[in-house]
A and B are shown apart, each in its own frame.
Chain A
Amino acid sequence: MITALKIGGLALSRGERALFSGLDLSVSAGEAVSLVGRNGAGKTSLLRAIAGLLRPTAGTIGFEGPDGALDPQDARVGGLHMVGHHDGLKPGRTAREELQFQADWTGGGDIDEAVRALDLNRLLDLEVRRLSAGQRRRVALARLLAAPRTLWLLDEPMAPLDAGHRRGLGEAMTRHIAGGGMIVAAVHDPLPIPARDVQVGA
């Protein structure tokens, strides 16, 4: 269980290009953070670095639990979800098969409540290739609810959703935060919940 995320003096680069440096950020339980910045500022890269997929050029990313610092790899594997543009859903499999796999894989199991909350009932038996961008995103987001993990890393979670489902996701986020969860989201439109803005890049 992660109770805080601490980032100190972080610098990231993609290939030869330096994205940003000297980024400090700390997020504690029950807090939501919006990462804002122009396109290409490094918001997605920051999320990937927190998830351990991208090695920082400098600085530290640490996770804390109730009893002090956690091993970063253990904390990530059991404690965070990342949902971005690349959702990993296989076009040839049904939404139900993919959601069930993602839930099982990330330590959940029961998908019923997530299906209800994100209004996926009519989509479950369709192949993923038949879904629209917004429907796909809802299937991908469903694992946040099906497999409870503390820290949500979201990359433009709202972008393809319609107004009704943005509201639904907002309610799910509110419940997550109220339950001691944490959200770090890269956004251009404001999140539908109270969140602290953090500027990424100059």
Chain B
Amino acid sequence: MKIALDILQVLMLILGAPLVGAIIARLKARLQRRRGASIWRPYAELFKLLRKEELVPPTASAVFRLAPIVLFGATVCAAGFVPVVHASALLGSRGDFFLLVYMLALGRFFLSLGALDGGSAFGGMGASREALVSSLAEAPFLLGLVSIAVLAARADIAGMVAWTLGQDVFNISAVHILAFTSLAMVALAETGRMPVDNPTTHLELTMIHEGMVLEYSGPSLALIEWASAIKLHAMLALLIALFFPWGMASSGSGWGLTVALLLYCAKTALLMVLLSVIESAVAKLRMYLVPDFLGVASALSALAVIFTIWVKR
């Protein structure tokens, strides 16, 4: 029963991912008083790309073809660590939060390699910027998770969530606030959202993620697009699980699971609204201010770790 639920959770993260991106795009369209595209469009797009011919630059090596597969696999693995409807995950006890962070890093590393292998100037430019952003995002990502791990005295994500569930909702500490803010900022950078990267731009010189995927087409592009969607969904689910887990099912009863699922959808919806408002309210940062943005995230997460000393357990 438990294992079936765990598998279901991962499938939810993978199959629901395109929907999350589409709903954010739809919300942003509504804020611009546009009608916006159908929320099912990304599925049609993935289906279309999977059936299309794949074009590979003549100078590219096997890395170019391999990169999207590794990226997709690593992202799915990372999603396997995230609890959604109950405080356990498919890969929950098989690795700690470090593994989650570096699974995402592995995927990104391979995507950068693929971009360099594609041979276009924009691939290289995107890859170097991605390397800068991700190396700066790594510290706050890890420190933010460390602060919660210290409080929970557990290193696996599912264990940290289980500990949080045992706490009183109103008994939140400064550590939680600091860690949440820092991880939310990391999530923006990590998933290539505004104000760090503009996912809708057509200007090749300003691109980060889009620059890396310019040379990709067909099934490879589908895998990359899907992987980024899963990453966004998994990051949102991770934020919910770590900071707002209350309502997760404690037993396998049908009633508890239904409530947990509905609450999860409501929490995700809230985060999506928040994200679309943030993305609509600010202009993209100048490229050399991205380190400042992530520097603030690092400082917040470092404070979170320091404050764990004073939190009563």
Does A associate with B in a complex?
Answer: no
Which A positions have Cβ atoms within 8 angstroms of B? none
B residues engaging A (CB < 8 A)? Answer: none
